[in-house]
Structure 1
Amino acid sequence: MVQSSLHAATDKAVFDAINQHKVTKDEVLNMFFSRGVIVSKKTDKDDLAKEFSSFFHSYNDYENLSSILGVNNRKEKLTSYTLDTSLKVSDVEDSIKKIKEKIVDQGATVEHRVLKDGKKIELAITYQVLNLSKNDFQQVSVRDAILTIEETDSGLDIQHPQNKKLSDISDELIDVLESKDKNLQKDEIELSAFEKPKDRCKFFEFLTEGVEGFRCKDVTDTYVFNPSKKITSGQKNEVHITSASLKGTGVNLSDELKNLHEQGFYTWRVIWKAVKENRDSSDLYEFEVQFSEPEECKDFSFIVKGSYKRKDDGIVGEVSGHNVNRTPISLIEENQINKLINKSAWSAIEKLFAACATEGDENDDTEKQVVSA
């Protein structure tokens, strides 16, 4: 996919682009050399930028500067949902041509491959993102994403990076599949059914402690939310804090967080560190989960941020036992852990429903005792 621009860049835009630190002196010299002009390395870069920006520029000049100044895309959080359906991956594959046409209509290119003996399909999608707040050579960034469709006992699991473009593509996918199964139902991880702040907080406790094969060592970041209360007519405006965040060590055990929870705040985003169970040589992993819509606790997403390598000395899981700098983990291990986090999130929902049901039964028993008395 060609990295394009909305218009021809001005001389000033070219001048400013060449003067950015990303454009090295050698690259500027090569730009002149491509035009048959040899310049001295001693020539000031600012003078070279003035000279080159005064030339007539071709598409190749713009493309060259765009590639040098290209936007470094951050790794995105993943989101996942389940389709309760009788359809199999083989049924999806039968409709893959139509699905790919829908994706192309969204302005993207796509390739697909079938994995796990026909139980999984990966769609490799390349698309462009426009950001007019950037300079002329960074307005359009090219991104790559993987959308997976995996067959399970209950239907199909869909996973993709959480952004608007992939959400639109995901909706197109569902539209195609609904034409084959009218009873198809989409199930997502959300907490809109749990209105009590303590229940929403409990979800994150279940999740962080329930990742299979890992032991939570420390919750370092917790973000809380307190929805605005409706003000009735004639009532004076009151001071209301909507959100807050806590960073440090043992944040989940702090009195400050407990006080916020008691005041009606509930957790919507958490970053924590964990080690592999029964592994003295385990690296220290860092995970993050959140709801992008904190008020309703919807649009759940997760990410493996990386790991802190184990040192030869020190205690596993402690600062002394690991390197200071976080490093990426392998793609294979990342995919495995993503599945475990997602599984823990679904398990947390089930535990939360069970806990609420038990609490409801206890309340019913209490009411009966009061009535009997």
Structure 2
Amino acid sequence: MNSGNLYSINDKAIYDALHQSKLTKSDLKELFLARGIVISSDASREDLARYFSRLLHDYYDYQALAKRLGSSSRRDKSTISYVDMGGLTIDEVEDAAHELSDLIKEYDATAQVNRIGDKVEVLVNYRITNFNKNEFSQVVNREGVIDLEIEDGKLLIRSPLTDTVENVKEVLVESVAVNNDVELSIESINMKGISSAEKRTEFFEHLVHQLDGLAHHDVTDVYIYNPKNKSDDFEDSDSDIEEEVLDLGVHITRASLKGEKVLLSEEIKGLYDKGFYIWKIVWQAVENSFDSDIYEFEAQFKNAEEFTGFSYLARGYYKYKEGGEYNSSRNGFSDIMERKLGVKIEKAAQLAVQHIANTDSEQLGDDDDQGESS
């Protein structure tokens, strides 16, 4: 169900579903056994699919197949927002949070509120639909946790960066404002006002070196972007190849590089010269000890052109064995460790934005001085 709509399946969809490899022989036996039918291990999948698809089916058949064939859950990247509370307390935030379930019905979502000391936790359950997927993957149940706390007079909002959770977050802040007859606005980590490709890349170069208590180890994945509607159109470039590409109407918008020491490669330097800048990065860091595990992180701006929607993910760690060797498989962090590392990324991102803002202002000041002297 979604906003009054009912999703149904036909015999062709069930026939196709029973041919999928995700549905094991054991799953097929359970489906038939629920109908009181025992099948042979030698029965072909084609015969079983043809027979089962001809039967009458109900909602529970759909649920049984969707559970096995539906989209697998994935970890959403996190983001942080700030609201200047102007003297309001976490109690006013909690009061508004308790009203959420009635306010977010249009998003097919519900909210459960928990108070943990000086913090408020809102568990949002919602559904998303994608009609481009098969019938058993079109509706996916999701949940996201919004963590709320007040620090230095500002409400810190940590949450997954998904469309529904973002909408719920805006409804919550608006509810707090209405209940207390004040004006509140949500701020976030972004560089929307800085369009320089060099400055945008510099943000990530600064970010990966600023994790408190951790030393930079390597950058393994870099995703770069080159907006088509740039105003400079390579005016300062000396490359004849680039001019020829423009004449042919060819434009590469996105590219990615994977490997070791990616930021030091000649390939990425060449792409910088063509106007590309980093919008997403995967990097590794270690603690200041010889036997440290390797921690892996990811950060990006959701809108690569506007440089808004900053989000991050503490991916996991490669456990140190001995003799400088590490496990090849990555382990996940505990919830406590993931939160601790997430705070480090948030603070590093704030420092990176401040660094870019300061250098941008200094450059502007230098330009003004030059203009006066001339």
TM-score, normalised on structure 2?
A: 0.88
Aligned to 1:308: 318
Asked if 2 retains the 8 angstrom alpha-carbon contact of 1:162 and 1:301, the reply is: yes
Does the residue aligned with 1:358 lie in a helix, a strand or coil?
helix
Letter in 2 for 1:323: N
2:281 corresponds to which of 255, 259, 270? 270
Asked if 2 retains the 8 angstrom alpha-carbon contact of 1:5 and 1:140, the reply is: no
Letter in 2 for 1:96: A
Letter in 2 for 1:43: A
Does the residue aligned with 2:195 lie in a helix, a strand or coil?
coil
Aligned to 2:113: 112
Report the alpha carbon displacement of residue 158 of structure 1 after superposing the two structures with TM.
1.0
Does the residue aligned with 2:99 lie in a helix, a strand or coil?
helix
* Cα distance change, pair 61–336 in 1 and its aligned pair in 2 (3 A): same
The CA distance in 2 between the partners of 1:163 and 1:89, in whole Å, is 24
2:290 corresponds to which of 280, 287, 300? 280
Asked if 1 retains the 8 angstrom alpha-carbon contact of 2:225 and 2:255, the reply is: yes
Question: Aligned pairs, how many?
Answer: 358
Structure 1 stretch displaced more, 294-303 or 259-268: 259-268
Report the alpha carbon displacement of residue 364 of structure 1 after superposing the two structures with TM.
4.5
Aligned to 2:144: 145
Over the matched positions of the two proteins, sequence identity in percent amounts to 34
The CA distance in 1 between the partners of 2:54 and 2:247, in whole Å, is 62
Listed one character per residue, the Cα deviations across residues 293-339 of structure 1 (whole Å, up to 9, x for unaligned) are 1111111111112211111221xxxxxx2112222221211111111
* Cα distance change, pair 26–88 in 1 and its aligned pair in 2 (3 A): same
Aligned to 1:215: 215
Please state if 1:10 is matched with 2:20. no
Mapping for residues 40-59 of structure 1, pairs under 5 Å: 40-59=40-59
Aligned to 1:341: 345
* Cα distance change, pair 171–247 in 1 and its aligned pair in 2 (3 A): same
The CA distance in 1 between the partners of 2:144 and 2:302, in whole Å, is 19
* Cα distance change, pair 39–339 in 1 and its aligned pair in 2 (3 A): same
* Cα distance change, pair 106–42 in 1 and its aligned pair in 2 (3 A): same
1:329 corresponds to which of 330, 333, 343? 333
Aligned to 2:94: 93
Letter in 1 for 2:64: N
Structure 1 stretch displaced more, 257-266 or 294-303: 257-266
Asked if 2 retains the 8 angstrom alpha-carbon contact of 1:221 and 1:251, the reply is: yes
Does the residue aligned with 1:32 lie in a helix, a strand or coil?
helix
Mapping for residues 46-85 of structure 1, pairs under 5 Å: 46-85=46-85
Does the residue aligned with 2:336 lie in a helix, a strand or coil?
helix
Listed one character per residue, the Cα deviations across residues 67-118 of structure 1 (whole Å, up to 9, x for unaligned) are 1212102211112211112222111112222223223442112211112x2x
The CA distance in 2 between the partners of 1:168 and 1:246, in whole Å, is 33
Does the residue aligned with 2:306 lie in a helix, a strand or coil?
coil
Structure 1 stretch displaced more, 359-368 or 281-290: 359-368
Aligned to 1:194: 194
The CA distance in 1 between the partners of 2:201 and 2:214, in whole Å, is 20
The CA distance in 2 between the partners of 1:341 and 1:181, in whole Å, is 34
* Cα distance change, pair 181–279 in 1 and its aligned pair in 2 (3 A): farther
Does the residue aligned with 1:95 lie in a helix, a strand or coil?
helix
Does the residue aligned with 1:209 lie in a helix, a strand or coil?
coil
The CA distance in 1 between the partners of 2:355 and 2:50, in whole Å, is 65
Letter in 1 for 2:356: L
Report the alpha carbon displacement of residue 360 of structure 1 after superposing the two structures with TM.
3.6
* Cα distance change, pair 236–155 in 1 and its aligned pair in 2 (3 A): same
TM-score, normalised on structure 1?
A: 0.88
